[in-house]
Structure 1
């Protein structure tokens, strides 16, 4: 290291570490000696540990100080005295975010528009030592992921976690009429399939979102946990009195695949949360109303509360993004149209699922009851359409366009 002048009268100090190394606590003595010096002060460090100079340099980089060679012996005698300094530590200004190459990863109390890859996995607001690796996160723009209420949403989501083993009284599911039980099993099979897709979509983005937006990552992580619980309780209810599940339609799987294959975060959030899960809230409310047993009613209610949070975040961050980027609405429309075209040749909602909804809404096997059940399912579909329209209007679509786009949504509900 190139020798530097003594700093023109800068305060200085000296510490002798003897044989102590940094793996044994030498940093404690160096910190203590530096504490008495002002920023820019010079601490002459001496010691006999063979790796002292290397470890001292690494410690200085992390602590925000600068390491220099000691000044040459002015007498020119050649052999250094036994207590000669190994190096000089120039005390840094920890309140200066760019002292000796360190940078601060924004503020601990706010987010920047586009955090750089050089911030890597550092905590937001941390002082980052220079020279670390760059990490690429392709979802790294505030306007794409952020919602002003995301911290509050995360706190609410974390406080509303529930345990499937204790939140549901599984012993309360008395045996139903076999045909009614078949309808419940079919609906649970359908719900498990859809919730698997709803888990995969946010999970695929967790490693792509810059950790600077940690509240978003935390909220999506809870969302993944929500979907895992939903899968568990729906599957458990399906197998409560039977040893096999219902049917899975090719059209339903094709519809869900279009969600899983979406690579753009905004488009995926729009299709899944704003449209799909929004419709699922209405479906779960329907199941809660017409459930034939307490267990089905309870798990529908619990899942519905979780799904409402998912929808709220999807709407909130896309609404904010649309305000910043008017071109977003055109891209959202394009996403709906592409998905509609991709599914144009599929059958849509599983016929067994539709029939099961009618059976539960009917409550009994009479022509009048079945007719009433069918009418209730049609009202459910109208409610789903109305909800989609309202959410599309909140994002900024005109009423007529919102109605047109809602009509293009997949017949598979999700």
Structure 2
């Protein structure tokens, strides 16, 4: 009789007894004998089937007494043996990803042991160079830690009074922001189901980006309706400009048009509103949204910079995307005139001629800052300074 034993008492294998058996066998060497005690009537039926499944051998116990063991389990390879030749879905170390994870990994956690067989879901964005950035894990952690609640991060009841025409200008700008943020939400959402789950930090980061844009939609809409019930205007040119981003199905080109060019310029616009907002609520929501948008831009630039380092043809594709979009929007009016006028009035602060003149200068400096920012980001992607300037000039006048 072996000294190794486990007493299941009245617990059957179908009610959790298998866990006690597995725990008792785990530290034993192969060939060791474990006496199984218990009085569940189904043990004698369930034990042989369980041993076959788990890779152990069952021996009958010597009938010494009614209180003796039900059977003897001889330790085999067990579950570890069954998994001995199993492959893994890459490494579980953070940030260490495979170049081309196979479809058979499916939804398995990165680094998990893989049982053979199962479905092979198709993810067309399954190449590391197409989606990955070294900054993705750190950027996701940053994004997750800095989520904010629209209901508490903004003091919606903070008192302020604006002249009707200034309030109308705020409403128009908020309407424009809502329109653009709707596009900025849809674009990353469309790629979530196409990226191989092996690149989970990128999927997580894009999911947070979608959540960011959802919050922006909420706060911009809420500010627009804070003092009234009517939104501003939406121009054909503005909607056409956003549609050219929506219809881009290539991940790299979509990220380029949205994050590197559009949201990059949007950061400048939000900074402009932080400076010239006529009330504390507008200033606060512009500042909150700007922090999120800076993160979106950083990921877009980082991942495209890494991709361009391994794919020398990428810059040609990026250039073609800008030129194609410029040609498509050649006959549109560009920035909604109502938005331009609203920005001018907000930065002017009054209707005095000299104030309007100063406001106009502020808006022109905004356009210049947007252009400079686009140039810097294009140069970061490897474009020469003169070409970066040329391509920046082709960017839509609708900012996004």
What is the TM-score with the length of structure 2 in the denominator? Answer: 0.86
State the shift of 1:90 in Å: 3.4
- Which secondary structure state, in structure 2, belongs to the residue aligned with residue 171 of structure 1? coil
Match of 2:250 among 264, 267, 280: 264
Distance (whole Å) between structure 2 residues aligned to residue 245 and residue 56 of structure 1: 70
The question of whether the paired residues in 2 share the 8 Å contact of 1:47 and 1:85 is answered with no
**How does 1:281-360 map onto structure 2 within 5 Å?**
281-360=267-346
**Cα separation, partners in 2 of 1:99 and 1:248, compared to 1, 3 Å:** same
The answer as to whether partners of 1:269 and 1:314 remain within 8 angstroms in 2 is yes
Question: In structure 2, the residue corresponding to 1:127 is in which secondary structure?
Answer: coil
* Pair 1:129-2:120 in alignment: no
Q: Is the 8 A contact 2:158 2:280 kept in 1?
A: yes
Structure 2: gaps of 5 or more residues: 37-41, 60-69
Cα distance in 2 between the residues matched to 1:116 and 1:41 = 40
State the Cα distance separating 1:172 from its structure 2 match: 2.1
Equivalence map 1:393-404=2 (5 Å): 393-404=379-390
**Residues 304 and 268 of structure 1, relative CA distance in 2, 3 Å threshold:** same
The verdict on how the C-alpha distance between 1:225 and 1:86 changes in structure 2, with shifts beyond 3 A counting, is same
CA distance in 2, matches of 1:47, 1:288: 72
Q: Deviations over 1:224-272 (max 9, x none)?
A: 1111111111001000001111111111111111212211111111111
Q: Distance in 2 between matches of 1:413 and 1:323?
A: 28
- Matched-pair contact (CA < 8 Å) for 2:58–2:72: yes
Question: Which residue does the alignment assign to 2:87?
Answer: 103
C-alpha displacement of 1:15: 9.7
* 2:14 aligned residue: 23
Deviation at 1:394, TM superposition (A): 0.3
Deviation by residue 1:177-234 (Cα, 9 ceiling, x = unmatched): 1011110000000001101111111111111111111111111111111111111110
- Tell me, in whole angstroms, the C-alpha distance in 2 between the residues paired with 1:241 and 1:227: 23
Task: Please point out which of 154, 167, 173 is paired with 1:168.
Answer: 154
Query: Contact 1:16 / 1:47 at 8 angstroms: preserved in 2?
Result: no
Is the Cα–Cα contact under 8 Å of residues 32 and 74 in structure 2 kept in the other structure? no
Q: Does the 8 Å CA contact 1:274/1:314 hold for their aligned counterparts?
A: yes
Does the CA contact (< 8 Å) of 1:18 and 1:49 recur in 2? Answer: no
Separation (CA, whole Å) in 1 of partners of 2:360 and 2:32: 83
How large is the RMSD of aligned CA atoms in angstroms?
Answer: 2.9
Alignment of 1:34 onto 2:25: yes
Contact map agreement 1:42 1:89 (CA 8 A) in 2? no
How many residue pairs end up in the alignment?
A: 380
Counterparts of 2:332 and 2:5, CA distance in 1: 79
Match of 1:113 in 2: 99
What TM-score does the superposition give when structure 1 sets the normalisation length? 0.84
Asked if structure 1 preserves the Cα contact closer than 8 Å seen for 2:13 and 2:43, the reply is no
For structure 1, list consecutive stretches of 5 or more residues without a partner in the other structure.
1-12, 61-66, 72-82
Q: How far apart, CA to CA, are the structure 2 residues paired with 1:17 and 1:249? A: 74
Give 3-state SS (helix, strand or coil) of 2:335's partner: coil
Mapping of residues 183-202 of structure 1, within 5 Å? 183-202=169-188
Q: Is the 8 A contact 2:51 2:57 kept in 1?
A: no
Q: Distance in 2 between matches of 1:273 and 1:166?
A: 27
In structure 2, how many angstroms separate the alpha carbons of the residues matched to 1:283 and 1:357? Answer: 10
Deviation at 1:141, TM superposition (A): 1.2
Structure 1's 350 and 22: CA in aligned 2 closer, same or farther, altered over 3 A? farther
Shift of 1:27: 2.6
Instruction: Point out the more displaced range, 263-272 or 273-282.
Output: 263-272
